[in-house]
Amino acid sequence: MPGAEDTLKRGRCRPGPPGGVARRPRDGQDRAVGARRRRSAALVAALALAPVGCGGDETSAVPVSTTTTPRATAPVTTSPPARTAPRARPAPAPAALPGLPRDTAGFDRWPRLNAAPIPPDSEQTRRVGFDAHRGVKNVYVDSPAAAPGQPVGGVFAPGTVVVKAGGDDGVITLIAIMRKVAGSDPEHGDWEFVEYIRSGAGEDFTTDARLTGPTCWSCHAIARETDWVFTPPASR
Ligand code: HEC
């Protein structure tokens, strides 16, 4: 605390109030008088402030610095983290990976269902018998109903897009998508399924007629009770 007050007192030394005290002369004749008045007003103000702002008399400074302490401590204690926070900058609009639909753009910034990356032998793959999606995966959800910072899960709202990104060694080679479109397919939870693959980094993603519909929901039906989604929301 004394450190902060000292900083405040030293800081207040510099900006004296002569501009606020002295008045601008009305015309040329008054200019000299005005300048004299300004100088003397500044001097009076500086003398009045001296014991308080410049630490000339510690005891008389106490009541004044007490009243200004709340304003003074806030910037002193909070400004270092605010200055170093990298998220303050607005992020540029992301583009979709080559070959992927636009609604997947920036998926890796969406809320994630899984807390840790899902291994090939996950609990859910053991449940269905084999790893249909191969590799290490993350499941991201863009849901219009999700409040910021809240976990997503349960029954998903129309408009929700679920992206499962899979691959090895940090290179994503598989993107499986579930889109909730109201009324599109009530028998299968109103989900549209489609999957895109590529052989490696730098390649475009492609899909074909087999990577959609029955291929997908035949297995996802096992997760019908959790709105056809296998990955349980991570507890936060
Ligand atoms: C043999 C079963 C099986 C098939 C077939 C299958 N999936 Fe999956 N899918 C899973 C499992 C299990 C998970 C959970 C993640 C994990 O543990 O790998 C999953 C996860 C997903 C997810 C993330 C949401 C979730 O359910 O956790 C999406 C999106 C997805 N699959 C889309 C598809 C698409 C699109 C197809 C068809 C091309 C498909 N899946 C075919 C078993 C399957």
CB-CB contact of 104 with 161 (8 Å) = yes
Atom number in ligand 1 closest to CA 129: 1
- The per-residue DSSP string of 122-175 comes to -HHHHHHSS-SS-SEEEEEEE-TTPPTTSPP-SSPPTT-EEEEEEEETTEEEEE
Identify which of 96, 234, 93 has the alpha carbon closest to the alpha carbon of residue 163.
96
- Lowest average pLDDT, out of 39-48, 74-83, 126-135, 213-222, goes to 39-48
Tally the C-alpha atoms within 13 A of residue 158's C-alpha that lie toward its C-beta.
Answer: 7
Q: Which residue has the higher pLDDT, 38 or 120?
A: 120
Phi and psi dihedrals of 226, rounded to 5?
A: -115, 45
Ligand 1: does its nearest atom lie under 6 Å from the Cβ of 193? yes
CB of 178 closer than 6 A to ligand 1?
Answer: yes
Cα dihedral 229, 231, 235, 236, rounded to 10, equals -90
pLDDT higher than 70, residue 220: yes
Question: Ligand 1 in contact with 176 (CB < 6 A)?
Answer: yes
Domain boundaries, given as residue ranges, for the chain: 2-87, 102-226
pLDDT of residue 46: 43
pTM of the complete model beyond 0.75:
no
Q: For ligand 1, is residue 160 a contact (CB within 6 Å)? A: no
Residue 42 near ligand 1, beta carbon < 6 Å = no
Probe residue for ligand 1, chosen from 142, 195, 219, 227 as the CB with the greatest number of ligand atoms within 8 Å: 219
Q: Has residue 209 got a pLDDT over 50? A: yes
For residue 167, report the distance from its CA to the centre of ligand 1, in Å.
14
Listing from the earlier edge strand, what are the strands of the sheet with 171-180?
A: 136-142, 161-168, 171-180, 191-197
Say yes or no: CB of residue 133 within 6 Å of ligand 1.
yes
pLDDT band at 160 (very low <50, low <70, confident <90, very high): very high
CA dihedral 222, 223, 227, 228 (to 10 degrees): -70
Most confident of 20-24, 133-137, 212-216: 212-216
The overall average pLDDT reported for the chain is 74
89: left (phi over 0), alpha (psi -120 to 50) or beta: beta
| Separation between Cα atoms, residue 179 and residue 86, nearest integer Å | 32
Is residue 114 packed enough to be buried (19+ CB in 10 Å), middle (13-18) or exposed (0-12)? middle
Angle among Cα 179, 94, 151 to the nearest 5 degrees reads 50
The answer, yes or no, to whether any atom of ligand 1 lies below 6 A from the CB of 4, is: no
Which has the higher per-residue pLDDT, 150 or 159?
Answer: 159
Q: Is the pLDDT of residue 166 over 90?
A: yes
Indicate the range of 95-109, 139-153, 176-190 predicted with least confidence.
139-153
**Any atom of ligand 1 within 6 Å of the Cβ of 165:** no
Q: What is the pLDDT of residue 155?
A: 85
Centre a 10 Å sphere on the Cβ of residue 172 and count the other Cβ atoms it contains: 21
Residue 131's pLDDT is 78
Checking if the pLDDT of 35 tops 70, the result is no
Q: At which residue do the structure tokens 């809320």 appear? A: 111
